[in-house]
Amino acid sequence: MKKVLLGTTALAVAGMVAGGAANAAEEPITAGIGGYYKAAMAFLSEDNDAGQFADNRNSHALGQDIEIGISGSTTLDNGMTVGFVANIEGNGGTGTGSAALDERWLFFRGGFGQFRIGTTESARQEMTNFAPNGAWNFGVNTPFFIFANPGNATFFNVRTYDDGLGNEDNMKVIYFSPTFNGFRIGASYAPDDNNQQQYGGNTTDVVGALQNNASISAEFAHDFGSVNIRLMAGYEQYVVETCNAAANVQTCEDDPASTQFGGTLNFGEWSIGGGWLETEQIALAASGAGRDRTDYDLGISYWSGPIGVGLQWGHAEIDVADGTQDELDIYALNATYVIGPGIDVEAQIDMGQFDDETAGTTLDNDWTSLLIGTSVSF
């Protein structure tokens, strides 16, 4: 990671944070630059419910993802560390080469724990638990590259991490406690999901918009001899500003929430674990009943030296508007070979099945895909 010296503006900010320029830390803030570039190609075979190759779908595809991050920090005389993180993401999966400022926050860290303010993920997401994997670019749970489409945009993949309710990188405050005997807790709050509280805020309620995003999470991690165990639990809730224009018609859940549990057991080169996430959907069913989405995954991996191998299963089910339930299953076998520091090649073969139970639709889909990719990080 390359380090550079920040300019006078950043130093002035750090001085004010510390309590005035006269009491600024003796050492100036230094910043590191890092990032990654990932690319992958896929070969697909998809069948709709008629047993034919899915209409208007390519049998092969390419994808890429890039992110560059800048972070800096300094330690004050009182022992507290003050710093920042800023990431630029160029999700060029469509080939457009678009880029955007992604997560960015200021943090204060010390014996009290860590406090952040900025656009960052919630406490639940920060403490999430992923099923062990042999190739993090792929897998069944919110990977970098998703090529197969089950036929329903709501079911692009299994997700025990992203509840899909709001903007995961909204402006928020977040706190993580120190670790006591393996236990750590976190809490976060965002006043407005779309960051409209900035510069005066949102003057009127927006139909379907979310606000008051609160999250709390806890984790336990401990070594028992040669065995390491990690467990987590999290809860996240939103408030809908207004359901619809006709106030006398209730069409949405007023305060949708998500609940998550996960855990991993590590012993030697082996890891086994998984996660579960249940999410209340915003839109109600036609009958007025609530709708839930449930995702869970399970995985086992083996890593030895530069080689990693993993096997995963993911399942998702969602209550749809007509009262039926759609289901998705994905099975993946993947592997990684580390060529050198920060450079690897990965491969995966996966199979999936989507069962569409919505009345009058024929979006059932079975697919098999072969994925090959590489990544470079610095």
Domains and CATH numbers, the chain: 2-377 (2.40.160.10)
* Nearest alpha-carbon partner for 72 in 9, 20, 140: 9
What is the distance, to the nearest Å, from the Cα of residue 302 to the centroid of all Cα atoms in its chain? 23
pLDDT in tens, the chain (378 residues): 444 444 333 333 334 344 444 454 457 888 999 999 999 998 888 776 554 444 555 678 888 889 999 999 999 999 999 999 999 987 644 444 555 778 899 999 999 999 999 998 999 999 999 899 999 888 887 666 766 655 555 566 777 777 777 667 788 999 999 999 999 999 999 987 665 554 445 556 666 677 888 999 999 999 999 999 999 999 999 888 777 655 555 667 778 899 999 999 999 999 999 999 999 887 776 666 778 889 999 999 999 999 999 999 999 898 877 778 888 899 999 999 999 999 999 999 999 888 877 655 567 778 888 999 999 999
Phi, psi at 124, each rounded to 5°: -65, -45
- What is d(CA 336, CA 305) in angstroms, rounded to the nearest whole number? 11
- Cα–Cα distances (Å) from 253 to 111, 154, 241, 292, in that order, read 40, 17, 11, 11
Burial class of residue 143 (count of CB atoms within 10 Å of its CB; 0-12, 13-18, 19+) = buried
- The partner residues of 7 in beta bridges, in order of sequence, read none
What is the token pair recorded at 133?
Answer: 């994997």
CA distance 82 to 84: 7
The CB density around residue 377, as the number of other CB atoms within 10 Å, is 13
CA atoms within 13 A on the CB side of 72: 16
Q: For residue 248, give Cα distances in angstroms to 158, 206, 207, 281.
A: 35, 16, 14, 20
Encoded tokens for 253: 């859940």
Burial of 362 (0-12, 13-18, 19+ CB in 10 A): exposed
The DSSP output letter for 207 is B
Report the sign of the C-alpha dihedral through residues 283, 319, 156, 139, in that order: positive
Other beta carbons less than 10 A from residue 79's beta carbon: 9
